[in-house]
Amino acid sequence: MEYLLELAASPAAWVALATLVVMEIVLGIDNLIFISILTNKLPVQHRQKARRIGIGMALILRLALLSTIAFIVQLTEPVIEIMGQAFSWKDMILIAGGLFLVWKATTEIHHSMDPAPEDPKTATSTVTLGFAAAIGQILMLDMVFSIDSIITAVGMTEHLPIMVIAVVVSVMVMLFAAEPLAKFINDNPTVVMLALGFLIMIGMTLIAEGFGAHVPKGYVYAAMAFSAAIEVLNMMSRRTKQKKLAQQA
């Protein structure tokens, strides 16, 4: 209790908390985009449930990993060397997660360009399998993003209560933002392609970091923000044209 009171009275602890909360929210954007795109592939009645399960698992995984900080720190120690390149468990997890993201986003882009006709006879089984597959894929990426998130938290502060609060706050923000983001993506088909492009970029970044090439997150998120701003301008332009055509009619 005395330790918590000392932290609460420390300005440095509040600065660290604010910084870590912002960092965790930014890192959670990647996770949230993936969850939104994947759950939008499910039938409407299953989407909200899948999002809540996915984000709930993200919180559970992060808190579970925080309870094993000593083990998490060891994940950064080299365990294998290939052609002079040392790889830790963290590196291999990031590479696997990055490859999965690139594969998934590329598959979704291909499906968007050439959608397969749905067979009404297999619609029921497809829904069941689709929900289970979606939860499995969300769990896999939750693990990758959670490990990255916790290692970032450990690198920024040594106080466990600050890490826990930052993780809980970031996941709560994800929970509140999930529905509006998923609806926005679903209502704007061109945004889906942009978001899939983001996932490919994030996947390539994870692979690069797994191979030891550090990519500043600021560059990645600046590129995402710039692309999103251009897409917003395109959407405004399309709506303006539609209003003018409606008035002329």
pTM over cut 0.85: no
CA distance 37 to 136: 14
The DSSP element (H or E) to which 79 belongs, if any, is strand 78-82
Q: Looking at residue 120, what is its pLDDT?
A: 47
**Tokens for 218?**
């600021």
Asked if pLDDT for residue 2 goes beyond 70, the answer is: no
Mean pLDDT score of the chain, rounded to an integer? 78
Coil, helix or strand at residue 88: strand
Measure the N-to-C terminal CA separation of the chain; round to a whole number of Å. Answer: 70
Asked if pLDDT for residue 243 goes beyond 70, the answer is: yes
Report which of residues 106 and 24 the model is more confident about: 106
Mean pLDDT of 37-60: 85
CA distance 144 to 131: 20
The answer to whether residues 227 and 194 touch, using CB atoms and an 8 Å cutoff, is yes
Asked if pLDDT for residue 224 goes beyond 60, the answer is: yes
Count of Cβ atoms closer than 10 Å to residue 194 Cβ = 17
